[in-house]
Structure 1
Amino acid sequence: MHVTMAAEKCIVLICIFSWICCGLCQLNLSEGSYCLNHDISGTCVKLHKCGSAVLTYLYHNAGFANMSLPKLPELCSLVDDEPVVCCTDCTLSNVDAFSDSAVAPYGVLISKKGPKAWKKCVEYFHKLPYPCRGKGNVLLKKSLEQFRLCYTSTLKVTLNIDRLVPQKWRFPHLALLGYGENLNKAQWLCEGTVISERFILTAARCTSAGTLGTVTYASLGVRSNDRHKNTHIYKIKRVFNHPKYNEPSWYHDIALLQTEQEIHFNSELLPACLDVGAHDTSIAETAGIVAKFANKNQSTSRNMESVYLDKTHRLKCKYKYRPNNNLLRGFDVYKQMCYEEHIKTGKTCKRLSGSPLQVDQFRCQYTAIGVTGEVVPCGSSRVPDIFTRVFTHVPWIESIVWPHED
């Protein structure tokens, strides 16, 4: 559901026009002809030159159909499969001003220009049931200028971050990884992040588990300590370790798992975006089984919870992770990140390697910024956890997950 005026997408535009304007038929007028649209004189122009029509299409296509959108103009004709519409805007555009625009969570208008991973993130938001899709304080209004008898358009998007309600479950992309040939006896030892219909992102150390062999299963839709039960199980078809990963090194500790069958998304199971450098990463979160300590006794909940982490200064990371057998050059600022428990959390937790380190600017669509590597045990002193940085590995991920995308 890309927002684009490309010829191959025009059939979608025509369908939208036909659906919104019941019984719509062509006026059989050529481009540049004068026309009437609801008793107001207009000009037949290609759709991309009529700003109000393009904005209406963008927001309708992003799930805002129930919003009070302006009506789409009458259809004059088709030129090279692009609709020519009777536009009554006071100003017509000579360029396709919105060809690279898309609607983000809560109606924010963004550019979809960028790496493949960013474009796929925008595409998934437009076609999948993210909880904030079609929601937001958006006003798209057309006002008639009485003297010129034409319309001006105003787009107003109001976003109050403090009033956004956090989702009850913040990890719809979480995967639990199982090892062993027998599903009933499988050992669930690592986690991963669903990033597309066929791929899961995880740590390279998680692709095999000693005598249990290569990772065999992925359990999706997990929420509790009994995480492999009542979930969607997918068999792993192929494993892609990063070509520069060499066990037991912690550098390039990242891998991709391809499922045998296509993953079917729903409101409880949705892909995460990949970090392309567009978000604030000073505070992030991961999923864990929370362990509380009282009088030297430890108790754990069955349900997974969000564990908030603070980004650690690179100098502290370099000091804590000096050169050793796993990090021959010490902490790598470019390829790795380290975080420690958020001071407000007040509890330690139990996590698994491969789990996502994520951020979410709008509490709706999540972005994986890191992959959990070595995990600090519960109850340990405040030692930063080390993560493989997603941003620097995006080109490698794109080459495998979306090799034929533009």
Structure 2
Amino acid sequence: MFIRALVSLVMVSLVTGQLTAGDTCFHERLQKSGVCMLPEQCLDALEDLMQAKRPQLCSYGINSPIVCCPIPKKDAIGDKSANKCADYAKLVYITYETPLLSISNRNLTRDECGIKSNPLMVRGNDAFVKELPHMVAIGYEDAVGRKVFECSGSLISDQFVLTAAHCLHTRQFGDAKYARFGDLDLKDTNDGAYPQEYRVEERIAHPDYKSPSRYHDLALLKLERAVLFNAYVRPICLNSRRVIESEKAIFSGWGIGYGNEKNRLRRFTTSLMSTEDCQKRYPDTRKLYRSGITDDWQFCATSRSDQTGLCNAHAGGPLQVHNEEQYCMYSLIGVTSLGNICGSANLPGVYTRVSHYLDWIEKTVWP
């Protein structure tokens, strides 16, 4: 009734013929295509009415006028990811109150960036505190209920983790059940990190993934509740460009190396390589890649010859490059599908290309 009362105040308005609800129309003022509907169903019409403006009418209905409601512009693929990336970059700065006895009563801002050096000059060391706040360790349960971490992932929103589809379920440990954030060492609790851990509520494989093939090896984990963002836990940006301009990238994960190092979060510089060169190094890929390495969905990267410790790394982990547009942010370009073979720099890692699946990711995470 309130809406209809408002409509009566601005009833003298442009009428687009005698169109009925559901017909298409053209909004003259906004120069957009539209659909005829009741005023209470159209956000633009409600805003006009609240400001005593005249909505464009399609016709005068029996009980209510029918308005021409402009169709919102559809977001291009990647727009949502770019907007979220800009929001996440703001989390690098922490605002805090000054002490009561301080001369200034203003709030201060502190830079919490954990990247200590040029991201592409990394030589395979342990990760710094707050350097990779998007890293996720994916946990399972063994036969006696103990947690084991067999895969990695990347935090991309407050409730979703991006990982490899073959990590959703393992033959030995069953379904993925836990996601741990903000940790540096899966065994050491005195490493300066402040980990958070959440249960997995839903496991969503890409609809085109068919095991045992590794094509479309991508999945989302939905968490039981929203993650608490802080200096140690923050989402990564998603790469939307088909062409990756950088020749090098950063691979990170737990389990890179031998012995006691297997629980440490580490990162290495890798070199991107062409699909043709990658295919030559995999003489028999019929089981995992029946049609070979497919450039549209995948790409390859390899470590330097002196980095043969790049092995046994958790699948599902990120391959990332420095984001040139947002301060202290990485962009996720690939998800580890098949890691480097232990002790060999000859066989490269195979990564699922994130940009190819951006439409599916955005529709699932930010519907």
TM-score by shorter chain over 0.5: yes
The amino acid of 2:310's aligned partner reads: T
List gaps (5 residues or longer) in structure 1.
Answer: 1-79, 81-111, 136-160, 293-297
Alignment of 1:382-401 (within 5 A): 382-401=346-365
Cα distance change, pair 290–246 in 1 and its aligned pair in 2 (3 A): closer
The counterpart of 1:364, out of the listed 313, 323, 328, is 328
- Normalising by structure 1, what TM-score? 0.57
Distance in structure 2 (CA, Å) of the matches to 1:185 and 1:388? 30
Cα distance change, pair 227–193 in 1 and its aligned pair in 2 (3 A): farther
Cα distance change, pair 244–122 in 1 and its aligned pair in 2 (3 A): same
Q: Are 1:250 and 2:214 counterparts?
A: yes
List gaps (5 residues or longer) in structure 2.
Answer: 1-50, 52-75, 95-108, 112-116
Q: Are 1:207 and 2:168 counterparts?
A: yes
Q: Percent identity?
A: 29
Distance in structure 2 (CA, Å) of the matches to 1:271 and 1:248? 30
The amino acid of 2:295's aligned partner reads: V
**Contact between 1:353 and 1:372, CA under 8 Å: does it hold in 2?**
yes
Alignment of 1:29-44 (within 5 A): none
Cα distance change, pair 228–313 in 1 and its aligned pair in 2 (3 A): farther
**Contact between 1:130 and 1:364, CA under 8 Å: does it hold in 2?**
no
**Contact between 2:270 and 2:302, CA under 8 Å: does it hold in 1?**
yes
Aligned position for 2:17: none
Q: Deviations over 1:104-152 (max 9, x none)?
A: xxxxxxxx995211111112223x1358x987xxxxxxxxxxxxxxxxx
Cα distance change, pair 368–261 in 1 and its aligned pair in 2 (3 A): same
Q: Which moved more, 1:163-172 or 1:341-350?
A: 163-172
Aligned position for 2:304: 342
Q: Are 1:168 and 2:107 counterparts?
A: no
**Contact between 2:311 and 2:339, CA under 8 Å: does it hold in 1?**
no
Distance in structure 2 (CA, Å) of the matches to 1:389 and 1:345? 23
The counterpart of 1:117, out of the listed 75, 81, 84, is 81
Q: Are 1:261 and 2:221 counterparts?
A: no
Alignment of 1:239-318 (within 5 A): 239-277=203-241, 280-288=245-253, 289-291=255-257, 300=261, 303-318=264-279
The amino acid of 1:283's aligned partner reads: K
Q: Which moved more, 1:222-231 or 1:322-331?
A: 222-231
Cα distance change, pair 340–165 in 1 and its aligned pair in 2 (3 A): closer
Cα distance change, pair 228–220 in 1 and its aligned pair in 2 (3 A): farther
Distance in structure 2 (CA, Å) of the matches to 1:354 and 1:348? 15
2:257 counterpart SS class: strand
**Contact between 2:120 and 2:250, CA under 8 Å: does it hold in 1?**
no
Q: CA deviation at 1:320?
A: 2.4
Q: Deviations over 1:200-235 (max 9, x none)?
A: 000000001125321111011121242799621101
Q: CA deviation at 1:291?
A: 3.0
Distance in structure 2 (CA, Å) of the matches to 1:203 and 1:184? 23
Distance in structure 2 (CA, Å) of the matches to 1:385 and 1:197? 29
2:338 counterpart SS class: coil
2:92 counterpart SS class: coil
Distance in structure 2 (CA, Å) of the matches to 1:337 and 1:360? 18
Alignment of 1:59-74 (within 5 A): none
Aligned position for 1:402: 366
Distance in structure 1 (CA, Å) of the matches to 2:217 and 2:270? 20
- Normalising by structure 2, what TM-score? 0.63
Q: CA deviation at 1:379?
A: 1.0
Q: CA deviation at 1:381?
A: 4.2
1:395 counterpart SS class: helix
The counterpart of 1:373, out of the listed 303, 323, 337, is 337
Which 4+ stretches in 1 moved above 4 angstroms? 161-167, 181-184, 227-230, 343-347
The amino acid of 2:331's aligned partner reads: T
The counterpart of 1:129, out of the listed 92, 103, 106, is 92
Distance in structure 2 (CA, Å) of the matches to 1:163 and 1:338? 19
Aligned position for 2:181: 220
Q: CA deviation at 1:190?
A: 0.5
Cα distance change, pair 346–204 in 1 and its aligned pair in 2 (3 A): closer
Aligned position for 1:237: 201
Cα distance change, pair 364–210 in 1 and its aligned pair in 2 (3 A): same
Q: CA deviation at 1:303?
A: 3.1
Q: Deviations over 1:22-57 (max 9, x none)?
A: xxxxxxxxxxxxxxxxxxxxxxxxxxxxxxxxxxxx
Q: CA deviation at 1:346?
A: 6.7
Superposition RMSD in Å: 3.4
Q: CA deviation at 1:321?
A: 3.5
Instruction: Name the structure, 1 or 2, with higher relative contact order (CA <8 Å, separation 6+).
Output: 2
Q: Deviations over 1:238-281 (max 9, x none)?
A: 11100000001110000000001101110011100101118633
1:307 counterpart SS class: strand
Distance in structure 1 (CA, Å) of the matches to 2:119 and 2:348? 32
**Contact between 1:279 and 1:361, CA under 8 Å: does it hold in 2?**
no
